[in-house]
Structure 1
Amino acid sequence: MDKRKLTASIIMAGAIILLLVITLWPQEEEPATGFTAHKVIAHAMGGINNHTYTNTLDAFVANYEQGTRVFETDLLLTTDDKLVARHEWTGNMSRLLGQLDVLPAARQGAVLSHKEVMDSPILTLYSPLDIDKIMELMAAYPDAYIVTDTKELDPQLVTRQFEHIVEAAKRKDPALLSRIVPQIYSRDMLDVVNKVYAFPETIFTLYQSHDTDEQVIAFARETGVEITMPVTRATKSFVHKLKQAGARVYVHTVNEEDEITKLSRMGVDGFYTDFASEEDLGRMRGVR
């Protein structure tokens, strides 16, 4: 081989090696902004005094004061078509919320009216929330974000719920819409929500979904949604592929330090939790 051919071969080999390094070298993630800059999402407004699922003003304030800035809240329609913060309409939930002596027996497992919800203290001293009071909190705490848990799949009900959310935000301050993160339960639901309002960020939760990993990965790549899933579905391979597709990955609901650390090392970005705060995660070894 003459000298020119040898030089050309060396240059070509070097170019191939450089291309491989660029392709295979782990890429730095884009810096997180907005709600994704936080690792903690307070489940049902976060726990308070060892109680969960309260969705109360008091839980919001208590967890905010511990450094939490992202709050998931359950939202249900009342009998009179108002949107309130409640996890479910069951007798067991009335019991968990300490309302067995507050509500008549016949109403303890029933869908309640707006007045019944708002006039029924939770655990005797905590204040229930409706969508207007949630918007008041967001206005008062301008770095807080709300992740919705509306639960419904029927397009008409989904539309009505998000009409309530958008209308309440616009009544208080339209800028609040930039800090509301819809949680969707199916790929189709994204279009339903977007027809009401195109929120800047969305989370696709997988606990009701029968989609394959490949379908979820493709959807995340195509739409830019973030992903949350039960701990049982979080595998290293799935998490890695979702992150390669550009999604941030969350799991729910996690309270134990060992589990949070294990999932963080797997590549999980954030956690729905009742009791862990951003400060707690900051001191945990191994949490990135």
Structure 2
Amino acid sequence: MHNRAAKWRRTASAALLLASLFASLSTEAENHSVTAAAQVVGDVNGLDNTPSIDVKVPSDEELLPENHFVPAASPDMKGMDGLDDTPSGDEKASDNEEVHPESHPVKAIAHALGGMDGYDYTNSIDAMAASYEAGFRMFETDLILTSDGRLAARHDWGAYLQPSEPEELADCQLSSEEFLSYKIYDQYRPTLLEDVLEFMEKHPDTELILDTKSLEEEEVLQKFSQIVRTAEEKDSGLLDRLIPEIYDQEMLDAVESIHSFDKKIYSPYLTDDLEPEHVVDFMLGNGLTDIDLQTDEVSWPLIESLKDNGLGFYIYTCNSTEEAEEYAGMGAEGIMTDFLGPDL
């Protein structure tokens, strides 16, 4: 009995010793886990509580699965290198919110006197009246010569504009009588220069950009002689509200020989010279402060050159609110549109 009790006591002692050893090992392992966590998390409450123990922190490459996409940092984003990326004030942008340049008010210009019922290039006095009623005060019109030498507000002589004209007249230069005989898109009144100027005489808060569509000197002289004469017959003050588009140096010289307009706008669409240095030199050399550009002529080097030299730019033709906002954000002075409202 005594030997059995002694054996039992030795067995119990061994068991207690093993239990104590396992408890000690478990505590040490737990302490190591806490230490590793403290090493990763870092300083808590401003006190250095990280024991001096080497803990291997896995790299980004080890943490991320293979082929995981990591977006490149945007040059406009801050915070990833410790810089303050918190917006000032109470307003904060969401992670997905796009940031656009701050826009500014731009002049809204009714292109080709304004679109109507989904039709563009109307160049009709009906469209001009509707655009004015909608709030437009600046207009643009195309001017071409009829066969008897009068200026018609029309983009070209394509039959699509006056579909009711006889087949023998289709795509031909019309006389003023023929032009006035068929409605634009079978709905709107065909319009001559004098009709537009008469409207402007009755509405002294209007301005008009003139696209005369010609580089040939004789035709330029013919058109601008008629423009000046017709305006003076009505009200010489109208000339101060007419803004001819200038295409190149020879055209400018011809126009200036007829009348020195207070306002002019450079329009390179007939020459296609969009080299920034050439554009800026031509404008500064001739006292031109603004240029109008087709949407496909816009480039950042050109825009930056214009802005660096204090020159303004207009855009045509834009019928998208989103695009209009983008051009305004780029610094456009004005936007020609067929269908957008006057409050761009």
So what's the TM-score if we normalise by structure 1? 0.79
Q: Give, in angstroms, the shift of residue 38 of structure 1.
A: 5.7
Return 117-126 or 198-207, whichever deviates more: 117-126
Cα distance in 2 for residues equivalent to 1:242 and 1:149: 22
Q: Is the 8 A contact 2:163 2:186 kept in 1?
A: no
Match of 1:88 in 2: 156
Asked if residue 241 in structure 1 is aligned to residue 305 in structure 2, the reply is yes
Name structure 2 gaps, 5 residues minimum.
1-104
Cα distance in 2 for residues equivalent to 1:100 and 1:66: 28
Match of 1:50 in 2: 118
Match of 2:295 in 1: 231
Asked if residue 270 in structure 1 is aligned to residue 338 in structure 2, the reply is no
SS at match of 1:111: coil
SS at match of 1:263: helix
So what's the TM-score if we normalise by structure 2? 0.67
Match of 2:276 in 1: 213
SS at match of 1:139: helix
SS at match of 2:266: strand
Deviations 1:116-140 (A, max 9, x none): 1112222333111111111101101
SS at match of 2:139: strand
Q: Is the 8 A contact 1:75 1:148 kept in 2?
A: yes
Match of 1:222 in 2: 285
SS at match of 1:119: coil
Cα distance in 1 for residues equivalent to 2:106 and 2:209: 13
Q: Is the 8 A contact 2:295 2:317 kept in 1?
A: yes
SS at match of 1:207: helix
Equivalent position to 2:163, from 100, 105, 108: 100
Q: Is the 8 A contact 1:55 1:86 kept in 2?
A: yes
Return 121-130 or 192-201, whichever deviates more: 121-130
Q: Give, in angstroms, the shift of residue 224 of structure 1.
A: 2.8
Match of 1:260 in 2: 324
Return 131-140 or 231-240, whichever deviates more: 231-240
Letter in 1 for 2:232: K
Letter in 1 for 2:286: T
- Percent of pairs with identical residues: 37
Cα distance in 1 for residues equivalent to 2:146 and 2:196: 16
Which runs of structure 2 are paired with 1:136-215 in the superposition (5 Å)? 136-211=198-273, 212-215=275-278
Residues 126 and 61 of structure 1: is their aligned pair in 2 closer, same or farther, counting only changes over 3 Å? same
SS at match of 2:154: coil
- Kindly tell me the number of residue pairs found equivalent between the two proteins: 239
Deviations 1:153-208 (A, max 9, x none): 10110110011100100110111000000012223311111111100011111222
Q: Is the 8 A contact 2:113 2:141 kept in 1?
A: yes
* Larger helix fraction of residues: 1
Q: Give, in angstroms, the shift of residue 100 of structure 1.
A: 2.5
Q: Is the 8 A contact 2:244 2:263 kept in 1?
A: yes
Q: Give, in angstroms, the shift of residue 80 of structure 1.
A: 0.6
SS at match of 1:250: strand
Letter in 1 for 2:341: S
Return 242-251 or 144-153, whichever deviates more: 242-251
Asked if residue 66 in structure 1 is aligned to residue 128 in structure 2, the reply is no
SS at match of 1:193: helix
Structure of greater Rg: 2
SS at match of 1:164: helix
Name structure 1 gaps, 5 residues minimum.
1-36, 282-288
Q: Give, in angstroms, the shift of residue 46 of structure 1.
A: 0.9
Q: Is the 8 A contact 1:39 1:270 kept in 2?
A: yes
SS at match of 1:192: helix
Cα distance in 1 for residues equivalent to 2:249 and 2:108: 24
Q: Is the 8 A contact 1:224 1:246 kept in 2?
A: no
Q: Is the 8 A contact 2:106 2:328 kept in 1?
A: no
SS at match of 1:88: coil
Cα distance in 2 for residues equivalent to 1:238 and 1:100: 40
Q: Is the 8 A contact 1:148 1:181 kept in 2?
A: yes
Cα distance in 2 for residues equivalent to 1:124 and 1:232: 31
